[in-house]
Structure formats: C-alpha cells, structure tokens
Amino acid sequence: RKEVEQDPGPFNVPEGATVAFNCTYSNSASQSFFWYRQDCRKEPKLLMSVYSSGNEDGRFTAQLNRASQYISLLIRDSKLSDSATYLCVVCLVTGGFKTIFGAGTRLFVKA
C-alpha cells in the first residue's frame, strides 16, 4: 500500500461545478498535512494547510480526519484557472523526518 494515495483522475468538470478530491495516508504518525497544486512543467505551489478542525480559503475547503487517515479538498464554483494537478502532502516523523507527496489528481475545468 502506498504511503499517500490519491485518485489520479482526471476529473473533467464544467465551470461552476463543485469537485472533491480525496487522499488517504497509511502512517498514523503523520503530523502535518497540506494541499499543493502543480501546473504542467511548473513547481508545486502551496494551496493550503489542513487542520483537524477543517479550514476554508475562499472557494477551497480542506478537511482532515485523523481517525480514518483521510484528507479532502473541496473546490466550489470551479474556474478554468483551477485546471491543474492537486497534490496531497503528508509530513511525518519516523526516526527522521519525511515529506511524502501523493501522485496527484488531475483536474480539467471546461467552459
């Protein structure tokens, strides 16, 4: 089982749609969680941190369920510019310190 798993997609949605991405992680020692977006041939950019209490930034809402080891990202009112790959990131301390990126979920928003 992969340490961080994401549905690879692609998700093809019309503008204005609501889309949800899921991510599961295998190590209960995971401590920090983030969502990044990566455009084609570009560097990953931090979208938001993820907290147990859930957090919202405009059209984006992230949630963490530690009991189920599950992270989600909800995008409301999708824009064309939201088209990208969304990466789930987990940081954990296991003797050393590791940052593990999911393989990403591709999103295509169409007019």
Partner 1 sequence: NAGVMQNPRHLVRRRGQEARLRCSPMKGHSHVYWYRQLPEEGLKFMVYLQKENIIDESGMPKERFSAEFPKEGPSILRIQQVVRGDSAAYFCASSAGTGEPQHFGDGTRLSIL
The stretch among 21-29, 38-46, 62-70, 76-84 that binds partner 1 (CB under 8 A) is: 38-46
Q: Which two tokens stand for residue 55?
A: 């957090």
Number of residues in contact with partner 1 under rule CB under 8 A: 22
- Which residues in the 71-110 window bind partner 1 by CB under 8 A? 87, 91, 93, 96-104
By the rule CB under 8 A, 43 interacts with partner 1: yes
By the rule CB under 8 A, 29 interacts with partner 1: no
Any idea what DSSP says for residue 85? E
The number of CA neighbours under 13 Å toward the Cβ of 58 is 7
Taking the least distance from each CB to partner 1, the nearer of 12 and 31 is: 31
Among 71, 73, 24, 37, CA closest to 52: 71
- In terms of Cβ atoms closer than 10 Å to its own Cβ (0-12, 13-18, 19+), residue 25 is buried
- List interacting residues with partner 1 (CB under 8 A): 31-32, 34, 41-46, 49, 87, 91, 93, 96-104
